[in-house]
Amino acid sequence: MNLSTLKPAKGAIKTRKRIGRGPGSGLGGTSTRGHKGAKSRSGYSRKIGFEGGQMPIQRRLPKYGFKNINRVEYKAINLSTLQSLADARQLTKIGVEELIAAGFISAKHLVKILAKGEIKTALEVTAHAFSKAAEEAIAKAGGTTVKL
């Protein structure tokens, strides 16, 4: 065996389709484009969403709703979560850093404390927002709330 006898595997190479090279090739005449119409012409490019003259789907479906550009998205943390975190790590102050360290949120999230569950420990809770019921529950347990 030497370099001059190397060949690609059988069926690995296909010959290129030589279109528009006369009737003898079998691919002359219309050059595989069929007869007439826009698709047979040079320079043809279909418009995005064009459905052959039928009303396109993006025009058939109605427009609805809007996106509020001023919306503020909060990550909800419940009182039960704060209580379990305080019990597990013996904390009296819980802020955004502690929630990040515990894996409840990432650094990019804004935090809102919600009133689901019970809180028994007096905690100093720091967050971006609180529900009224959560603030009352924290105060009732002897804790304080600090808004960022």
**Sheet (strand 129-130) strand order:** 74-78, 110-114, 129-130
Quick one: which of 56, 53, 36, 104 has its CA closest to 76? Answer: 104
5-60, pLDDT tens digit by residue? 999 999 999 999 999 999 999 999 999 999 999 899 999 998 999 998 999 999 99
85-96, pLDDT tens digit by residue? 999 999 999 999
The proportion of the chain whose per-residue pLDDT surpasses 70, expressed as a percent, equals 100
Q: Could you give the number of structural domains in the chain?
A: 1
Q: Contact 94/102 with Cβ under 8 angstroms?
A: no
Quick one: which of 56, 52, 55, 98 has its CA closest to 77? Answer: 98
Residue 82 maps to a domain: yes
Residue 98 maps to a domain: yes
The residue segments making up the domain with residue 81 are 74-147
72-131, pLDDT tens digit by residue? 999 999 999 999 999 999 999 999 999 999 999 999 999 999 999 999 999 999 999 999
Has residue 1 got a pLDDT over 90? no
Q: Contact 111/99 with Cβ under 8 angstroms?
A: yes
Residue 114 maps to a domain: yes
Question: Residue 80 maps to which CATH number?
Answer: 3.100.10.10
| 147/107 Cα distance (integer angstroms) | 17
